Structure formats: C-alpha cells, structure tokens
C-alpha cells in the first residue's frame, strides 16, 4: 500500500507539472502596456513555487515509500524535529516570499501609486448589485456631482445626477459598456453604490476592488482593438454570477463616433 501511495503522489506531481509546462491552461492574450511586466511576475512566481512544489511532493513520495510498513515488528519512533533545519527552511521561505513581494510591488505601484500620463482620458466605473455603469465627462471635461437621494434605477438615473440644476452634469454620459480608444492612457475612478465589488478584465491584467465610500483610481493603456469581458471577481451577493459587462477598445475615430451616439441617447 505504501508503494502504491508513493507512486500516485509522484504521478499527480509530474502530470500537474506537465500541464503547467505545456501551457494548456494559461493566461489569455494580453492587451495592455503593463501586462508584459505582470506576466513576467506571474512566471517568476510560478517557476519559483513550482520547483519547491515538485521537490516537496517527490520528497513526500519517497518518504511514504521509504518508511512504509515492512510487515515486521519494528515500533514507530517519535522525532522531535531538527531546529536547525526548521530555521533554515523558514528563513528561506521568508526570503523567497518577501523577495517576490518586493519585485512585484514596483509593478503594482506603477498602476496604483503612479499617476497617469498627462492628457489621460478619465472614466468613472460604478458597481452595484449586480450591474456595471460607466460615466464619461462631456465637452466640459468635468463630472457633475452625484446625489444618493436621486439614485433611481427605475427611471434610469443610476448615478443620481441632477441634470436640471448641476451644469457639470448636463453633458455627462452614462453607459453600460466601457469603451476606450486604443493606444491612449485611460484613468478609471472606481466607485461602489452598495457593497464591495471587484473590477476585472483579464486581458488587461487589471483587477481592483471597489469599496463603498472610496474613490479608487487605476490607469492603463490598451494596445489592441477588440471586445472583452468585464466581470466582478468579488462575491457580492446572490446575483454575483451575472455581474458582467463589456470592454471595447476602438480606434480613435470609431470611439469618437461611439461617444457621440451615446451622448445623443442620454
């Protein structure tokens, strides 16, 4: 039995490692300027932890085989462990994980702490159970104030805009699709109307929580045109599974026409 368990552990380890190495299930095609750096960080993490995983699992398989029941009358011996090896292993693990964190921090900070390029297009992203809304400023390039008491999905005032009295709100454009021009810096300001949500576009390699009461900015530049999916990756209620929208990257002329169409529909 011990030999059979050892063989099963070894096979599971080698097969799962082979699946990763074959990239049969892997990251989708990337479409943002930050994506290559994030992909390198993923690869470094996978390789580092993968090597440890293989060594640990094969060592486990060897231990199961080496110390299997031999059918004799030998009694099991209790080991108090080896303090020196425990210190070495804990220190090595700490160095690895702290090192990966320090390497990845610079990439993460470039999205969250470093501001966008001058002239970046700003879009507000609003999440609520269980929909996404996106607000673009009009020709004045200013967002109007929102009034929580005026938020009413039944009449289409999803963000509580008072277009009759707030001058900055009159030309704001609210859509159910996030569209951006290709090769242009975009800053998203993430806001939640109710609970915590999470904005995730896998092709952008961009994921960020929306926290009620906070305005959270992130920025990116899309490098390829196309239509992609936006999902909420934070469990936010019974309808979480259907909280999705579409992200479209267009040429600048196509985006301008799309924005004009959306403005006319307000």
User: Any idea where the domains of the chain sit in the sequence?
Assistant: 2-67+86-112, 121-264
pLDDT tens by residue, 85-134: 899 989 999 999 999 998 888 888 888 888 888 889 999 999 999 999 99
φ, ψ dihedrals at 26, nearest 5°: -150, 180
Predicted TM-score (pTM) of the model is 0.83
pLDDT in tens, 123-164: 999 999 999 999 999 898 999 999 999 999 888 899 999 998
Question: What is the pLDDT, as a whole number, of residue 177?
Answer: 96
Burial 198-229 (b: 16+ CB within 10 A, else e): bbbbbbbbbebbbbeeeebebbbbbeeeeebe
Instruction: Given CATH 3.90.420.10, say whether it is the number of domain 121-264.
Output: no
pLDDT at residue 3 in the model: 81
CA distances 175 to 127, 137, 148, 241, 247, Å, are 12, 12, 18, 21, 11
Which phi and psi (to 5°) does residue 239 adopt? -95, 15
4 vs 193, more confident: 193
Given a cut of 90, is residue 221 above it in pLDDT? yes
Q: What is the DSSP string of 72-90?
A: S-PPP------HHHHHHHH
């Amino acid at each position: 039995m011990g030999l059979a368990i050892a063989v099963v552990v070894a096979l599971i380890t080698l097969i799962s490692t082979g699946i990763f190495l074959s990239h049969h299930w892997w990251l989708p095609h990337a479409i943002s300027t930050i994506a290559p750096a994030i992909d390198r960080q993923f690869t470094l993490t996978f390789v580092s932890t993968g090597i440890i995983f293989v060594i640990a699992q094969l060592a486990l398989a060897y231990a199961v085989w080496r110390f299997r029941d031999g059918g004799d009358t030998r009694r099991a011996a209790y080991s108090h462990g080896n303090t020196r090896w425990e210190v070495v292993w804990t220190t090595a693990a700490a160095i690895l994980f702290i090192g990966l964190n320090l390497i990845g921090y610079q990439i993460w900070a470039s999205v969250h702490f470093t501001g966008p390029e001058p002239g970046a297009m700003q879009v507000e992203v609003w999440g609520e159970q269980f929909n996404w809304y996106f607000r673009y400023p009009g020709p004045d390039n200013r967002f109007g104030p929102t009034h929580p008491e005026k938020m009413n999905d039944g009449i289409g005032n999803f963000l509580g805009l008072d277009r009759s009295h707030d001058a900055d709100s009159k030309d704001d454009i609210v859509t159910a699709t996030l569209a951006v021009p290709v090769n242009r810096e975009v800053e998203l300001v993430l806001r939640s109307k109710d609970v915590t949500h999470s904005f995730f576009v896998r092709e952008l390699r961009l994921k960020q929580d929306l926290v009620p009461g906070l305005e959270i900015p992130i920025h990116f530049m899309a490098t390829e045109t196309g239509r992609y999916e936006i999902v909420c990756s934070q469990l936010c209620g019974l309808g979480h599974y259907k909280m999705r929208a579409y992200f479209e990257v267009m040429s600048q002329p196509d985006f301008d026409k799309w924005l004009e169409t959306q403005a006319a529909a307000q």
